[in-house]
Chains A and B, each alone.
Chain A
Amino acid sequence: RKEVEQDPGPFNVPEGATVAFNCTYSNSASQSFFWYRQDCRKEPKLLMSVYSSGNEDGRFTAQLNRASQYISLLIRDSKLSDSATYLCVVNNNNAGNMLTFGGGTRLMVKP
Chain B
Amino acid sequence: EAQVTQNPRYLITVTGKKLTVTCSQNMNHEYMSWYRQDPGLGLRQIYYSMNVEVTDKGDVPEGYKVSRKEKRNFPLILESPSPNQTSLYFCASSSTGGYEYTEAFFGQGTRLTVV
Residues of A within 8 A of B (CB): 8, 31-32, 34, 41-46, 49, 87, 91, 93, 96-104
Beyond A42-B109, A43-B108, A97-B94, whether A87 also contacts B103 by CB under 8 A is: no
Pair B106/A44 contact, Cβ less than 8 Å: yes
Beyond A32-B101, A46-B104, whether A97 also contacts B96 by CB under 8 A is: yes
Considering the chains assembled together, what is the distance between the CA atoms of A105 and B40 in angstroms? 11
Partner of A49, one of B42, B90, B92, B101: B101
Residues of B within 8 A of A (CB): 31, 33, 35, 40-45, 48, 50, 56, 58, 88, 90, 92, 94, 96-99, 101-104, 106-109
Considering the chains assembled together, what is the distance between the CA atoms of A45 and B105 in angstroms? 7
Nearest residue in B to A100 (C-beta to C-beta)?
A: B45
Interface centre among A41, A45, A98 (most CB of B within 10 A): A98
Interface centre among B40, B48, B56, B97 (most CB of A within 10 A): B97
Nearest residue in B to A36 (C-beta to C-beta)?
A: B104
Question: For residue B56, which residues in chain A have a CB less than 8 angstroms away from its CB?
Answer: 96
